[in-house]
Amino acid sequence: MHRHSRQRGSSLVLLLGIMATLAILAATLVVVLVNAQHNTARERAQAKSFHVAEAALDAAMANISRTWPSATPVPFPTPAFQDQFKPTPSPPATATPEPEYPGPTGADVPDVTVAYFDNFDTNAQYDANGDNLMYILTQGGVLDRASRVRALVQREYFHPQVPTDIALWTGGNLENKGGGGGVMPKVTAVLPSDTPPGIVASVEAVGLINADTTDPTKSIINNERFAAYDSTTDPHGRTLEEVFPTRAREAIIRYVKSVGRYFSEENAIPGKTPLQTAALSPETPFGGPGLAGMTVVENRLDSTSDDPVILRGTVQLNSETNPGLLMLLGGIGFTIGGDADFWGLLFVEGGTVTVDAGTPTIHGAMFSTLSVDFRGTLNLEFYPYLLQWLMFVDRPATVSMVPNTWRELQPR
């Protein structure tokens, strides 16, 4: 009897020991899990803060690409940048969404700071020495974690590849009709006084050119300065792809889109056509007001939905000292009359080029995928230096990171 009692007592002691051991193991497991969860949360917050800092760096480069920092710092972060981090409601609609990138002070968006400073004078928040190089310093904070990065960035320029040896190209016929035969020739060249005699450019048509080669005084083209090719009879005539390649035109379109000078149904003012929207656009460093500067207007849905560009009276679009590049795509026409002047390069795709009465002048060069009719006394004055200006003037395009300059710094 005593032996059985002792056995039962030892079993109880053993059971208590096992239970104590399990309790210790359970407590240890809870501590380990809590620590692991805490560490995971810290790591996630750290990773998110790093992603925010890098996103801010990319956005800051885009933010200063249009207006390179002057003496006035460029504001950042912008509301649009912060809005992308705001939580979106999930079903049910009444539920309060949890912020994915909560700020360190309980805000539903992360803490973001951005600083710009010159690469030589770190006290200057702008490109003080004008070498197109600056530093951008960004920091992102999520919960109690923060990341900080810095990079040297450079401003790059866009130079449109426009033809400089074509006065006029047409995808149809080049003619002189109507009651106003006018003064001949109508396609002339404006050249420096020291330009040697001879051909300076060409006038080309996929159809027929109404040019009198036997009597230069009756030809609409100054035969002493231009080689005239119509593709129906002359093998030297070139296609649009050969004179103004698609890749060059697409590069121009990409650029004007990036600087807000591209107008289509996608960004038209409600109730307005793309052309009307472009006409109401304000002046910017890249073009405007209206159609001035470098501008592309396109009808993408209905090629008949827009009125043509109309220049009449004494209207002047662009100038000799500041020529423009106007591309009308998708069937938008171009009408000029009176004493109106256009300076620069005109490109009309699928739209009718109409010349009203008067003495209007296009100074520069013109491309039209349809026929062109020189009525009245319209003049096309070929200005090669205007086209060279369009090509070589520096147009701020993008801001990119200088290779091997990215650094992660200690957050503050």
Residues 187-239 pLDDT 10s: 899 998 888 999 999 999 998 887 655 666 677 888 889 998 888 777 778 89
pLDDT at residue 169 is higher than 70: yes
pLDDT at 215: 64
pLDDT at 78: 84
pLDDT at 31: 65
* More confident site: 163 or 76: 163
The rounded distance, in Å, linking the Cα atoms of 35 and 280 is: 61
pLDDT at 56: 92
Give me the amino acid identity at 329: L
Quickly list DSSP for 293-353.
Answer: BEEEEE-SS-TTSSPPEEE-TT-EES-SSS-EEEEEESS--EEEEET-EEEEEEEESSS-E
Q: 349-394, pLDDT tens digit by residue?
A: 999 888 777 889 999 999 999 998 887 677 899 999 999 999 998 8
Which residues, other chains included, contact 388 with Cβ-Cβ below 8 Å and sequence gap of 6+?
164
pLDDT at 402: 94
Q: pLDDT band at residue 5, thresholds of 50, 70 and 90?
A: low
Closest CA to 298 of 252, 337, 336: 252
Q: Does a cis peptide bond (omega within 30 degrees of 0) precede residue 196?
A: no
Q: Which of 91-95, 158-162, 308-312 has the lowest mean pLDDT?
A: 91-95
pLDDT at 216: 61
The rounded distance, in Å, linking the Cα atoms of 86 and 99 is: 7
Domain limits, the chain: 46-156+399-409, 166-393
* More confident site: 341 or 96: 341
Mean pLDDT of the chain: 85
Phi/psi at 84 (nearest 5 deg)? -70, -15
pLDDT at residue 71 is higher than 70: no
**Distance, first Cα to last Cα, the chain:** 76
Query: If you ran DSSP here, which 8-state letter would residue 107 be given?
Result: -
Q: 227-285, pLDDT tens digit by residue?
A: 988 887 777 788 999 999 999 999 999 999 988 899 999 899 998 999 999 999 999 88
pLDDT at residue 327 is higher than 70: yes
Query: If you ran DSSP here, which 8-state letter would residue 108 be given?
Result: S
As a whole number, mean pLDDT of residues 113-117 equals 91
Which residues, other chains included, contact 331 with Cβ-Cβ below 8 Å and sequence gap of 6+?
299, 303, 304, 306, 349, 350, 351
As a whole number, mean pLDDT of residues 171-193 equals 78
pLDDT at 87: 79
As a whole number, mean pLDDT of residues 30-47 equals 69
Give me the amino acid identity at 97: P
Provide the CB-side half-sphere exposure for 332 (13 A, CA).
Answer: 27
Proportion of the chain above pLDDT 90, given as a percent:
42
State both tokens at 260. 């807000």
Proportion of the chain above pLDDT 70, given as a percent:
86
The rounded distance, in Å, linking the Cα atoms of 324 and 283 is: 13
Strand partners, 228: 203
Question: Is residue 337 within 8 Å of 358, Cβ to Cβ?
Answer: yes
Question: Is residue 138 within 8 Å of 117, Cβ to Cβ?
Answer: no
